[in-house]
Amino acid sequence: MARIRGLSGMSGAFGGMVRFTDMFCREGPEALRRIGADAVLADQMEAGGALVAEHLGLPFASVAVTLPINRELSVPPPYVGWAFQAGEKGRKRNAGGWRVTDLLLRGVGKAIARNAAMLGLPERHRLEDCLSPTLQITQLVAGIDFHRRELPAHFHYCGPFRAAGLPEPFDLPPGDDRPLVYCSLGTLQGSRIGLFRKVAAACHALDLRLLITTGGQGRLRPEDLPGRPIVCDWVPQEAVLAQADMAVCHAGMNSVLDPLAAGLPMVLMPLAFEQGAVAARAAHAGVARVVGARCSVRALTEAIAEVRREPLYRQRAAILRTEIEASGGAVRAADLIEAALT
């Protein structure tokens, strides 16, 4: 998973989805009968959960932990890093993007059709055909998504699914009062030493304090990086972000939602999966500057400086923080699930 790059890499990931869907549709019915399941929460990207639930006559909810896959021509597919484009020109471009998406996902579509027939269900061919007719929830808030006009009434933006309670404490090493930049490339890309070195050089040039987390993937030593940043395998992210001035990350969904929950602007470097699409939405919301992973140290330095210098990034991040605080999060999601599925 950590080695996936570009469309060819995504094709391999889709192959894994086919194998999982086949396995779950083959083994899932007996497994759910054995545990006495009363309902199913199915990730939007895993059609098997919905197919097995329908086969067993169980109520089910569709959950989007990253970008919703609900198709409408006014927004680009969630697999491409396209900016929002209004009007007929944008709709035509998006229609082409969805055609390419269908081509890339044709193996997944065949698996959906094959397993629906095996389970005695009506014909279907796309992931969207397997979305719940009862409840669809996402941990996004509307402010970080492109404006949508065709979502069903049972679709709900709930905000980040996080445990309630106080965050685990984290104390920074004392003696350094410079503004703190938090950098994470998530749990799969923490071995990208070259990228971390680039971020360290940019922060050192701007006289900013830097904390890097590797997710246990890389063997980074502070003394090998410009400015000797703080390097950790893992940190309690919420506690660190409460002390940070901004974040630099790969535009994974959780890595974007957590800084926004703290009201922090970002510089985003999409690497794989849906990260380009997440970054495009964050840029559209005015809370992030997006740069390529191959950008120069100079370009990255300028991006970090711009995000810190221009107050609009922080102002818009503060607006989204308020929206996230009011969204209800995991508690609202649980309430919606209980109301819909019982």
List C-alpha distances in Å: 29 to 36, 38, 49, 115, 254: 11, 12, 10, 12, 31
Mean local confidence (pLDDT), 211-229: 85
The residue that leads in pLDDT, 175 or 299, is 299
124 CA to centre of own chain: 26
25 vs 55: CA distance, rounded Å: 9
Identify the DSSP state of 130: G
- Number of other CB atoms surrounding residue 171 within 10 Å: 7
**pLDDT over 90 at 320, yes or no:** yes
- Residue-wise pLDDT for 277-290, tens only, equals 999 999 999 999 99
Calculate the CA dihedral of residues 243, 259, 270, 277 and round it to 10 degrees.
-170
Structural domain boundaries in the chain: 6-134, 180-326
**pLDDT over 80 at 318, yes or no:** yes
116 vs 189: CA distance, rounded Å: 35
List C-alpha distances in Å: 285 to 42, 101, 129: 28, 24, 29
**pLDDT over 70 at 6, yes or no:** no
271 vs 338: CA distance, rounded Å: 37
Q: Whole-prediction pTM value? A: 0.91
pLDDT, averaged across the chain: 91
Mean local confidence (pLDDT), 114-133: 96
141 vs 257: CA distance, rounded Å: 9
33 vs 196: CA distance, rounded Å: 48
45 vs 78: CA distance, rounded Å: 11
Query: Residue 168 has which token pair?
Result: 């685990």
- Residue-wise pLDDT for 44-91, tens only, equals 999 999 999 999 999 999 999 999 999 999 999 998 899 999 999 999
**pLDDT over 80 at 8, yes or no:** no
**pLDDT over 90 at 142, yes or no:** yes
Q: Which of 34, 38, 74, 254 is nearest to 162 (CA)?
A: 254
**pLDDT over 70 at 190, yes or no:** no
| Confidence label for 101 from pLDDT (cuts 50, 70 and 90) | confident
DSSP for 264-331, written as a single string: --EEE---STTHHHHHHHHHHTTSEEE--TT--HHHHHHHHHHHHH-HHHHHHHHHHHHHHHHH-HHH
Query: Residue 8 has which token pair?
Result: 């060819």
Mean local confidence (pLDDT), 270-297: 93
**pLDDT over 80 at 12, yes or no:** no
**pLDDT over 80 at 191, yes or no:** no
Domain 180-326 = CATH 3.40.50.2000:
yes
